[in-house]
Structure 1
Amino acid sequence: MLHLHFVAEDLSRIRFASSPLWETVMSLRALTGPDTGAQLHTPWRRRVERRLAEVDMDLLTALVRPAGYIPDFLVPSPHRRSVGFATALAQVAAGDPAEVARQLRHLAGHHVAQQGPGRAARIRLLHRLADAPAESLTAIVRELDRYWGAAIAPFWPRIHALLRADLAHRLEELADGGANQLFRTLHPSVSFDRDTLRVVKYYEGHADLAGRGLLLVPCAFAWPDVIVLTAHPSVPTVSYSPRGLGRLWEQHPTPHRSALADILGRTRAALLAQLDLPMSTTQMSAQLSLSAPTLNVHLHALRAARILASRREGRHVLFSRTALGDQLLAGGADG
């Protein structure tokens, strides 16, 4: 059990962020782990495994093991609520080589992380990386960039939509019931009592937030674990799985040849099928390869018919299916 101890100032400095780099790093566990988390992402894994021929997966899977310690330098805390992949990767590239070397050696000796076949070869590789940390950091950044392009970027609009929906819900929870309500529904392994956040882990530990606050990062590939970082000099971080994760890889068949497509048109039927999760026009445009003006015409028509609903979140307008839209889609699929 890990105990995170709050002072009053920490409660007023709880904030949220999402990171494409966190998804990239944590997804490596879904490729190698035999646990529930890997099974949950099986549809994604089947689609990406054939894309990884140009990526040094031996290097990346030595750095991110199915369980146990993950080097902190791979998952820097986001500075803003939403950061781009290039910005986050630049944080990794700017890491202190001495600290990188220390973390790599710690990983090489970690009894949980170094379980499983290939242990001796992994440990030798990690020590070689630690002996030349500046050059190793360059290689790690290069391979993370390649892996992002092959495994995460094609699916980022859908993942990002899930994260945005979760952040909106968590902010409402915090506004409605404060920290007690927020943490009560955050994750089954998390509990909060007065001034202490408890996270079920394989080890016993204590950490004082000491007025630094707490950063909460939803991460689709974190399930079933809760990732906790307290060694950063800035903000202690807890990463958890977002709400609705079980629907992330669900796909309704695009109803090109259906009664629904005959009524709505193929484009609007396909658009309706994509909105299992709330999405912005930018995300939908990328998913369907439609120009913004064309997309807006379809969205306006579907919203006027009460098949879609919209809400503003910051600078974006998010669209989602209404109950009527769900019924129409289900009926179209049945037909």
Structure 2
Amino acid sequence: MAGFYGRSPQFGGSAGPVFDRIRSPAVTAAVRVPTLAPHAHSGAKMLRIHFTRDDLLNTRVAAAPDPLWETLLSAHLLGKRDGAVVFGDWKRRTRARLHPSMRLFLRLAPPWGYSPDFLTPAPGCATAADGIDRMLSTPKARLRGDMLRLAEEVRLPGWARPLAEGDVTMLRVLGDAVGAYEQIALAPYWRQIRSCVEADRMVRARALLEGGTDGLLRSLPPPVRWEPPVLSVTYPQERDLYLNGSGLRLVPSFFCWRTPITLRAPREEDPVVFVYPIGHDLGRTAPGGGAALARLVGRTRAAVLAMTADAGSTTGGLADRLGITAPSASEHVAALREAGLVASRRDGRHVLHTLTATGADLLSAPRATGG
């Protein structure tokens, strides 16, 4: 996984020689996440995804952030120096709360290179618990294949062999490790993660409405480039991927950093997964506080909030519809954004303001507004 789609290692014979390279530190040893310098690719390599007409018809954007993709990608980011401005506070808080029980999962998610595909089962899981249950149901053949591939790149500890063989106890330990990590690294921020991903989906929806699938693919952020019928992106390896009618499932991700990731679904007829990074508001990696919410009083601000629910609005559009000046509209939006009720994303020459999950909850609940 982890950005290296398409590699098909040949193992040649039994698994013994590969797993003989493992070491045996205790799973409960002290957790230390190595911090690596930003990765520099040697030369410009590209992934080219080739579309047919059927692929264009079968391209979709995921309805929500994928809990296990976000879990895995956050673990990758935790071991890098990348994204310090956006994720620095989150990294410090998360590292301080790491527990030895999470070690098994973190060993399977090194900052660079391959991570087992079974850590990100087919998209569609609404919660991390659902995703973990699906992960623990991975067929033994896939467990073995993924672990053998990982063993080609890194030395694995003693628990790798029983995990690769589908040992129930080791699978439960892995499930507990993933769940424990998710609770400290994602759960406290999930509302914000969901809100930021929803803001990106609004941008994609606007592009789809205005330009069809062609407009949707053109709207994807750099380094993605759409030159029909090929979607290209800077990538760690030189690859050509032919969808052959299966289509593409676009998965906007909060913790994906710079380079998109592809993964072919276990079934040939299912769409290829394309995880891409969303934009971020600087300093918005911690939940908003009650003090900011206290600023939300008055009919005008409530009206601004309601208008952002209608597929998003620009500052100028809000000003025109409310009969107020653009600076006044901008001030109202800034207060709503500070409270975590609105997310703002640049869309070409304009900034599009969209309702977050918190804002939707507030709109759907009975509330009193002042003058």
- TM exceeding 0.5: yes
Per-residue deviation, residues 181-227 of structure 1 (Å, max 9, x unmatched): 32333232212222222222111222221211111111111112211
Taking the aligned partners of 1:312 and 1:92, their CA distance within structure 2 comes to 35
Alignment partner of 2:195 out of 161, 172, 195: 161
Amino acid at match of 2:192: R
| Residues 56 and 311 of structure 1, relative CA distance in 2, 3 Å threshold | same
TM-score w.r.t. the length of structure 2 is 0.65
Residues in 2 aligned to 1:218 and 1:153: alpha-carbon distance in whole angstroms: 18
Q: How does 1:7-86 map to 2 (within 5 A)?
A: 7-17=52-62, 18-34=65-81, 36-37=82-83, 40-53=86-99, 55-79=100-124, 83-86=126-129
SS of equivalent to 1:41? helix
Answer whether contact 1:105 1:126 (CA < 8 A) is retained. no
Between the aligned partners of 1:2 and 1:194, the Cα distance in structure 2 is: 14
Q: Who is 1:109 aligned against?
A: 152
What's the CA shift for 1:134?
4.4
* Paired position in structure 2 for 1:216: 250
Aligned positions, number: 274
Determine whether 1:176 maps to 2:221: no
Is the 8 Å Cα contact of residues 259 and 276 (structure 2) preserved in structure 1?
A: yes
Letter in 2 for 1:41: F
1:189 corresponds in structure 2 to 223
Aligned match for 1:129, one of 139, 152, 163: 163
Give yes or no for contact 2:86–2:280 (8 Å, CA) kept in 1: no
CA drift of 1:251 comes to: 7.8
The gaps in structure 2 that reach 5 residues or longer are 1-45, 312-317, 319-327, 338-371
Determine the structure 1 residue equivalent to 2:292.
270
Question: Which residue, out of 230, 236, 246, partners 2:272?
Answer: 236
Summarize deviations over 1:54-107 as a string: whole Å, max 9, x none: x5333122111112222221112323xx72222222221221122012101101
Deviation at 1:176, TM superposition (A): 1.1
Letter in 1 for 2:126: V
Q: Which amino acid aligns with 1:179?
A: T
Taking a change above 3 Å as real, the CA distance of residues 323 and 304 of structure 1, as seen in their structure-2 partners, is closer
- Taking a change above 3 Å as real, the CA distance of residues 129 and 251 of structure 1, as seen in their structure-2 partners, is closer
Aligned to 1:292: none
What is the CA RMSD across the aligned residues, in angstroms?
3.1
Residue type of the alignment partner of 2:98: L
Would the aligned equivalents of 1:191 and 1:197 in 2 still touch at CA under 8 Å?
Answer: yes
- SS at 1:221 equivalent: coil
Report the secondary structure of 2:255's partner residue. helix
Partner of 1:99: 142
Aligned partners of 1:148 and 1:303: how far apart in 2?
38
Relative distance call for 1:109 and 1:40 in structure 2 (3 A) is farther
C-alpha distance in 2 between matches for 1:251 and 1:83: 21
Distance 1:322 1:271, change over 3 A: farther
Equivalent position SS for 1:65:
coil
Tell me how far apart the structure 1 counterparts of residues 287 and 119 of structure 2 sit (CA, whole Å): 31
Percent identity between the two aligned chains:
30
Structure 2 contact 200–252 (Cα < 8 Å) conserved: yes
